[in-house]
Amino acid sequence: MPELPEVEATRRGVERAAAGQTLRELRIYDARLRWPVDPTIPAQIAGLRLKAAQRRAKYLLLVLERGTLIVHLGMSGSLRILPADTPLRKHDQFDLLLGNGTTLRFNDPRRFGSLHYTLEDAARHRLLQHLAPEPFNAHFDAAYLQRITRRRRVAIKQVLMNSRLVTGVGNIYASEALFRARIHPRRRAGRLSGKECARLLRAVRAALTAAIRAGGTTLRDYVGTDGNPGAFRQKLYVYERDGQPCRRCGTLIRRITQGHRSSYFCPQCQPK
Ligand SMILES: [Zn+2]
């Protein structure tokens, strides 16, 4: 599933390839995404200029000179920059044809992605207005992390994965951040000290930043990945590395299950 770094890498790719371009046409091949695509969008946006690509959590915001397109990659979506005459493949859902003869093509085999258009402030759109703060937001600081963990009896991993409290961390980077912060995934959230909260905040940002960089360096025409962390996989410390030696101390990485998701950790570097 594309997590925040993949969406951010996609945003950067779109920004590089498409900012300043005119949207010649939106061609919808299959409107049956997570929510049916509004059939009036093509007429509303034709001829508008794409000013910038922004991101809020895992939503990609294509800011037009009037209104904003809101794209979600869902479980399996990807956006690619292609010459406009590239033959369609299975699961290509829509094309955003640009003035320079290229297209932003959306492919999504599982169709959990989405496309919306809004004329209002995108931050107030119903999909975005209730999102929790994300790790790069200034409001998301050590004090915030302390506030949301305090008095919570659940494991810290589950707080990081709770999208009503934190958005955009996801399973891979929750495990990676806890390793970097030397905190056991089963530690009770409410037991974290202020120092540990500060360390964890830095670790979350560092894990995401490293992944964004790796995504950003491997991308060319492929502006997004298909949910595979790709080159970054070789740099992961613990995620899906159970049974392999810890990159820091050599102890074998372990896997446990928390809330139906796998967590990975080093028992030596992350004592309980
Ligand atoms: Zn270790």
The predicted-structure confidence for 187-204, as pLDDT tens digits, reads as follows 999 999 999 999 999 999
Phi first, then psi: give them for residue 207, nearest 5 degrees: -65, -45
Q: Three-state SS for 69?
A: strand
Q: 145 CA to middle of ligand 1, Å?
A: 25
Distance 253 CA to ligand 1 centre (A): 7
pLDDT digits (tens, 9 = 90+) for 77-113: 888 889 999 999 999 999 999 999 999 999 999 999 9
Mean pLDDT throughout 16-29?
95
Q: From CA 53, how far away is CA 59, in angstroms rounded?
A: 10
Cα 229 from Cα 170, distance rounded (Å): 13
Q: What is the mean pLDDT of residues 169-185?
A: 95
Distance 125 CA to ligand 1 centre (A): 43
DSSP 8-state symbol, 123: G
Which residues touch 269 (CB under 8 Å, ≥6 apart)? 179, 182, 246, 248, 249, 251
Count Cβ atoms within 10 A of the Cβ of residue 257 and give its class: 0-12 exposed, 13-18 middle, 19 or more buried: exposed
The model's pLDDT over 56-81, given as tens digits with 9 standing for 90+, comes to 988 999 999 999 999 998 888 888 88
**pLDDT value at 225 more than 90:** no
Q: 176: CA distance to ligand 1 center in Å? A: 12
Catalytic residue numbers, as ranges: 2-3, 58, 261
Q: How far is the CA of 180 from the centre of ligand 1 (A)?
A: 10
Ligand 1 ion: nearby residues, β-carbon < 5 Å: 246, 248-249, 251, 266, 268-269
Cα 238 to middle of ligand 1, angstroms: 9
Percentage of the chain modeled with pLDDT above 90 = 71
Nearest 5°: phi and psi at 208? Answer: -70, -40
Compute the average pLDDT of residues 197-219: 82
